[in-house]
Amino acid sequence: MTSYDIIIIGGGQSALACAYFLQRSGLNYMILDDQPMSGGAWLHAWDSLTLFSPAEYSSLPGWMMPKSESKFPLKDEVIAYLKAYEEHYKIKIQRPVLVKDVNKTSDGFELETNEGLYHCKVLISATGTWKKPFIPKITGAELFTGKQLHSAHYKNSDDFKGKKVLVVGSGNSGAQVLAEVSNVATVVWAVQSKPEYLPDEVDGRVLFNVASAKYHAMQSGKEFDATQYSLGKIVMVPPVVEARERNALLFNLSFKAITEKGVIWPDGTEEMFDVIIWCTGFKYATDHLKSLNIVDENGKIETIETKSTAFSGLFLVGYGNWTGFASATLIGVGRSAKQTVKMAEEYLNLNIED
């Protein structure tokens, strides 16, 4: 059995941010990544996906992302940055190593993987959401004879040229997929509620600053109203702005059933489609922790900030506001990672003293 002070599960931006601070701690750590190369979930994103912020607002701790010629860094630029970041800081990582199961031991955690057993005193889960795409249960979905896919598996619009496509979901992914596919296909946008848009000048920089202000206000016991900058609203990235200019951001309130050839709208009419693209979000990719019996149906675990309330020595980083404000962003995860490594060090030192 291979043993470490700390093991991080996941090889994306959250894991790298934790490793940055662990490099300076002197602790014996290892990242276990199930992907074949650097990049984390970005390896699976659609081809045209970009960040919401310029490079200077999209960097991990310690080393800035190189500037992009585009307004926002492209997918391939983000992957190249994550790879270079690993190499620059000589981050300790093994891949591909799939963690199948985690069990508690008397002195830490035992991990069952495709490469054998690992043991650690502290475990940091940083697996994000990509592996757990969510598609709502809709009457008749199993009858549809056309193609169905989740945005997690959408790559580009090439396969949809000349087809009739239904895009489902009112968030950022829905708006961006709609914007791209509507250039080559007839697209209908189905939403549960009217999409809300941020002002054109608001991007990830503003959203991060708002999240930070909200965090500090809560730390001080003050109230902070950030509703006008809610992350639930759509960021007007260039493709979405372009779609608005050609009047493509039209929507229908969601259908009530799916048929063999299409969907039934609330007024009872049926409309035919060749493809349904589900842009309906994700659950948390924490199946590897199920044996601990602390994971709910959405993959969520009860925590105080990033620290598990059920097991000492277990931390979760980068899962969104559940584990720290803006912690699912490149720039935002640094704060959660730094705090987590500090708590892990204190936990290990306390156990050594005991």
- Percent of the chain whose pLDDT exceeds 90: 79
Give the mean pLDDT of 68-72.
90
pLDDT given at position 223? 63
Give the mean pLDDT of 219-226.
60
For residue 233, what pLDDT band results from cuts at 50, 70 and 90? Answer: confident
Give the mean pLDDT of 31-45.
97
Q: Are residues 81 and 151 in the same domain?
A: no
Q: Are residues 36 and 147 in the same domain?
A: no
Encode pLDDT of 312-336 as tens digits: 999 999 998 889 877 888 888 999 9
- Which sign, positive or negative, has the C-alpha torsion 343, 323, 126, 298? positive
pLDDT given at position 218? 56
Q: Are residues 93 and 169 in the same domain?
A: no
Q: Are residues 36 and 111 in the same domain?
A: yes
pLDDT given at position 351? 74
User: Whole domain around residue 74: which residue ranges?
Assistant: 2-131+284-353
Q: What is the pTM of this model?
A: 0.91
Q: Are residues 152 and 255 in the same domain?
A: yes
pLDDT given at position 217? 56
Give the mean pLDDT of 77-92.
97
Q: Are residues 126 and 192 in the same domain?
A: no
DSSP assignment string, 247-282:
T----EEPPSEE-SSEEE-TTS-EEE-SEEEE---B
Q: Does 236 score more than 80 pLDDT?
A: yes
* Higher per-residue pLDDT: 57 or 347: 347
- Percent of the chain whose pLDDT exceeds 70: 91
- Domain stop point among 217, 246, 278: 278
Q: Does 228 score more than 70 pLDDT?
A: no
pLDDT given at position 354? 44
Q: Is residue 223 part of a domain?
A: no
Alpha helices for the chain (secondary structure H)? 13-23, 75-88, 172-181, 204-219, 238-245, 333-353
List the CATH number of the domain containing 34.
3.50.50.60
Q: Are residues 55 and 104 in the same domain?
A: yes
Cα separation of 60 and 298, whole Å? 28
* Higher per-residue pLDDT: 262 or 57: 262
pLDDT given at position 350? 80
Give the mean pLDDT of 134-151.
96
Q: Are residues 118 and 149 in the same domain?
A: no
In the chain, the number of structural domains is 2
Q: Are residues 32 and 49 in the same domain?
A: yes
Q: Is residue 136 part of a domain?
A: no
Closest CA to 41 of 320, 289, 301, 303: 320
* Higher per-residue pLDDT: 110 or 328: 110
